[in-house]
A and B are shown apart, each in its own frame.
Chain A
Amino acid sequence: MSATHAPGDVILGRRQLFMLPTRFGLLFALLLVVQLLTAINYGNGLAYALTFLLGSLAVVSMLYTHRNLFRLRLAAGICAPVFAGEAAVFRIHLVNDSDTPRFGVALMHDKKEIAGVDIPAHGSADVELPVPAARRGHLTIPPVTVTTRFPLGLLYSWSRRVALEQSCLVYPRPAGPTPRRTREAETLESTRGLKTGGDDYIGTREFRPGDSPHHVDWKAVARGEGWHIKQFGGVYQPTVWLDWDTLPGLDTETRLSALTRWVLDAERDGMLYGLRLPEKSFAPANGEHHQHECLRALALFGLKP
């Protein structure tokens, strides 16, 4: 193929595509039968011609339907982490490497069709695929089927189920409001200095995945200087340790849920917080990146890598 593509992409080949007439297609066939009988009965040359023209049109439309999916490339996009109980929104790029646009390409997952999109020639279109995330950990993208009824709606073409290499990180479900249990000594331990999270602008740093879009320096992006995060600071921050061991006697999931809640609360309150898990610990820090690292550790806790 002419375009560059990542190894995980899937290109729909001939063997992955199937086709059957739709209900409208069957109606159309019935129409052709009625027309043919009329043509024979009246010995009418033009009626024959029209009947065969429409029949040929159906055959040609078969090729168009096939072409609409043939060599379509599917690539997985990014999926923002979600908490268990929410819906993970997978983004699938439908990439058209051909010179002709594709119309009305739909994705099917779990017997539900996701509205069709049009893909310009040498362009791509994104389809969002919401999948309920029930459990923490990695949620892999479910296999999807690509379908189309283009151009006349007489034929329905669909692909074999396509499994993309993409997963979404699912953080544990945050517990309800849970009072933070901390070790006294550490609560008092506080650090002075310029920390991020305040109101005063203190400079920029490079964008890291997980950063809030609110802090992106959009003007700089627009100038083409790349993605940067505006940092704010200038306040004194208390420091806390969020510790697995402060939650004895509870089962793992409950503990993880509680820790997740604490991480979220600490971040919200602008604290410096560290996380201590049986096999891992994160030094106190703050910011979206730190929060993501903590939540990720909680999400993957005890799971096979």
Chain B
Amino acid sequence: MNAAITSRPVLHSLLAAGACAVAPHALELPPWVIAVFAIGAAWRYACETFQWYRPGRLVRLALMLLVIVAVFRQFGTLLGRDPGIALLITLLGLKFLELKTLRDFVVSLLVFYLVILGGFLYSQSLWLGAWALVAVAACTAALVHLTQPTGMDMTRRLRLSGAMLAKAAPLMVIVYLLFPRISGTLWGLPADAHSGLTGMPDTMQPGSIRNLSASSEIAFRVSFDGAPPPLRELYWRGLVLTEFDGRGWQRGRAGGAREVSFVPLNEAVRYHVTLEPSNKPWMPALDLPAIRPKDARYQPDFTLEHREPIRERLNYTLTSYTRYRTGALDAAERARALQLPPGTSPRARALAAQWQRENSAPQQVAQAALDHFRRENFVYTLSPPLLGGDPVDEFLFDTRRGFCEHYASAFVALMRAAGIPSRVVVGYLGGELNTAGNYMIMRQSDAHAWAEVWLAERGWVRVDPTGAVAPERIELGLDAVRRLEQQGVALGSLPNEAVLRALELGWFEYVARHARWYWDYTNLAWYRWVVDYGKERQEQFLTSLGLDDISWSRLSILLFVGALLVTLVYAFLLLRPKKSVDPALALYLRFCRRLARAGMVRAPHEGAHAFADRAARQRADLADSISEITVLYEDLRYGLAISDRKKFISLKKRVAAFRA
């Protein structure tokens, strides 16, 4: 076991396996770390191939110390993920220079497996997972090569390693799904891990949602139990803004810990949300959510807030009612919902006062505002002009071109001026139905702002002023609006033949869109089953299998029994005696058995020909048929007649008729 390994092909296998294992780290670690590994490998290769100088023990020791110092200088420590993996990789590089015995080789190879795992600590992408399979196959093939240096060529080793991994995969899946997970509180994540996350801001300034609308990043994905509600009802409540400073909207002081409740007026909708990390605590929920997921607070304004900013992909299941009636409004809440900064937007105030005089009911005032938007020359556009110091007046009376936030902001300002409690709600509207996986993709660009007014008999009522200007935004989604705008089709004319025609997809777009959907579905499945598969997902999965009472011991028993069953099936498949694949050989063996019964046993070393001669000498009466059968068999098995049907049938007949 400790004999020196001198075979060059074995070294090549090891180098290839090492390259596969280390390659993904080039994306994350300082280049010099990868360089040390590559130089070590290349040097050893040169030693074997061109008889280069091979460093002695002292030199190797010095190099090792040098590398450790370098790692320490780079990271300031030797502990932790980065320095740990950097040390592993650099020392593996140096190890190439001293590999001698089988044991050295095997130890290096086993550490490669650890290096592959190290890559997952940086990224758990689908690509890396796929590459890791390649690397594991290469390492396993190298391990086969190390311990079975003869007999198999590279193709055969790779095939064997592939076949074993393919058999290991179902077993792995069982263990993976059932191995008891602990809730993930052990990890310590680096501080900079969450920069660059896109999320809805907690204030609304003119232009802040428009910034989001440029981002096609995915905000969350939703799958509904049953058919999804129509697009126009898919208002995803993010956060509610009540405090207005004349320009922008803030959340303001949160209400007391009042018990919030509402009366549902239609069927519940149940759905699962996979929320991408946003570094914000908002948990979008369909208007209005009825239950509170784990680790979330139910705010008095019917929004859900996570206990900390969401930095990992979050999965939660919710029930919502899209028709509802909320309760009374207390004095403080009412005051907040009527607040307007003094002295701003005089023209808007005048307009509101006029409506208030003309209409008695708040509902009519709201309708008057919507009619105003519809009747007057308002335009919904994704590229509105910039607004100055008093955006409400400027928008209402001068520019009249705006985006959902402009309409929501102006509408609420008008309502408040008219003495109607109201507020801005920011969230998402619409989304894209992914037919590949039957779920909805909500992007940051689907961000939307609308208004809520409080009416005495109905409580908070959602009013979307954007709908008065661009019903396409509500009915068809932002994607449709963008495409219509690109094609120069006027908004606000729904339903219209021209709109529908403009929305028809060309075949290329159709294919591209479906391809994108399938890819997104693959990613979602990857998140659900690999990246996010923790304690909660495991419980969800087991519950969906109909298992409740998921205790540690029950899981272990399930796991053990499942793995054992699969192993037994494999044992049966691998160890059962197989029928010979070559029918000619089977026939010949039957012929041999008949001869054996007559006392002529073929010795293991005896070829068919030699055996036939011997048997014919022993039984001259059978000499002819023995020789015929043997000649036919040899032709079929080794000769030119391998697939000769006639000869095969002739052999079959002769063997059947043969009696010794």
**Chain A positions near chain B (C-beta within 8 angstroms):** 1-6, 23-24, 27-28, 31, 34-35, 38-57, 59-61, 63-64, 66-67, 70-71, 73, 75, 77, 93, 95, 98-99, 101, 103-104, 116, 118, 122, 124, 126, 149-153, 224, 226
Contacts and interface: CB of A to CB of B under 8 A. Distances in A.
Contacts of B103: 23-24
Given A45-B534, A46-B531, 20 more contacts: A4-B602, A6-B603, A41-B187, A43-B186, A49-B129, A51-B117, A54-B168, A57-B140, A64-B164, A64-B574, A67-B574, A75-B604, A93-B604, A93-B605, A98-B578, A99-B581, A151-B147, A151-B148, A152-B143, A226-B613
Interface string B285-305: 000000000000000000000
B120 A149 contact: no
Interface string B103-130: 1001100100110110011001000110
A122 B129 CA distance: 39
A53 B169 contact: yes
Given A2-B589, A4-B589, A57-B140, A45 B168 contact: no
A46 B121 CA distance: 9
A60 B570 contact: yes
Contact of B172 (A53, A75, A122): A53
Contact of B534 (A23, A31, A41, A43): A43
B167 interface: yes
Contacts of B571: 63
30 contacts: A23-B103, A28-B110, A31-B114, A34-B114, A39-B117, A41-B186, A41-B187, A42-B187, A44-B121, A44-B124, A45-B532, A48-B179, A49-B172, A49-B530, A52-B176, A53-B168, A54-B168, A59-B567, A60-B570, A63-B570, A67-B575, A75-B603, A93-B604, A104-B151, A122-B580, A122-B585, A124-B604, A124-B605, A151-B148, A153-B106
B39 to A, nearest CB: 26
Given A60-B171, A93-B605, A153-B106, A50 B120 contact: yes
A73 B603 CA distance: 12
Nearest to B537: A45
Nearest to B601: A6
Nearest to B111: A31
A24 B567 contact: no
Contacts of B169: 53, 56
A246 to B, nearest CB: 42
Contacts of B151: 101, 103-104, 118
B152 A103 contact: yes
Nearest to B119: A46
Contacts of B7: none
Interface residue range, chain B: 35 or more
B94 interface: no
Nearest to B168: A56
A226 B613 CA distance: 8
A24 to B, nearest CB: 5
A23 B1 CA distance: 10
Contact of B165 (A42, A53, A59, A77): A53
Nearest to B126: A46
B99 interface: no
A21 to B, nearest CB: 13
Contacts of B152: 103, 118
A42 B117 CA distance: 11
A118 B187 contact: no
Contacts of B580: 2, 99, 122
B202 to A, nearest CB: 28
A56 B148 contact: no
Nearest to B533: A45
Given A46-B531, A54-B136, A56-B171, A40 B124 contact: no
A50 B136 contact: yes
Contacts of A224: 609, 613
Contacts of B116: 50
A35 B121 CA distance: 12
Contacts of B486: none
B651 interface: no
A45 B48 CA distance: 40
B interface majority secondary structure: helix
Interface of B: 1, 103, 106-107, 110, 113-114, 116-117, 120-121, 124, 128-129, 132, 136, 140, 143-144, 146-148, 150-152, 160, 164-165, 167-169, 171-172, 175-176, 179, 181-182, 184, 186-187, 529-534, 563, 567, 570-571, 574-575, 577-578, 580-581, 585-586, 589, 592-593, 595-596, 601-605, 609, 613
A48 B121 contact: no
Contacts of B121: 38, 42, 44, 47
B291 to A, nearest CB: 26
A1 B567 contact: no
Nearest to B107: A27
Nearest to B143: A152
Contacts of B575: 63, 66-67, 70
B128 A46 contact: yes
A1 to B, nearest CB: 7
A159 to B, nearest CB: 15
A51 B578 CA distance: 33
B605 A126 contact: yes
Contacts of B604: 5, 73, 75, 77, 93, 95, 124
B117 A59 contact: no
Contacts of A152: 140, 143-144, 147
Contact of B120 (A44, A103, A124): A44
A93 B182 CA distance: 55
B532 A4 contact: no
Contacts of A42: 121, 186-187
B136 A53 contact: yes
Residue of B117, B121, B571, B593 ringed by the most chain A CB atoms within 10 A: B117
Contacts of B574: 63-64, 67
Contacts of B596: 4
A60 B110 contact: no
Contact of A27 (B106, B128, B184, B585): B106
Nearest to A70: B575
Q: Which of A4, A34, A41, A75 has the most CB of B within 10 A?
A: A4
Given A27-B106, A48-B179, A122-B585, A1 B577 contact: yes
A257 to B, nearest CB: 34
A228 B530 CA distance: 72
A51 B454 CA distance: 57
B143 A71 contact: no
A4 B601 contact: yes
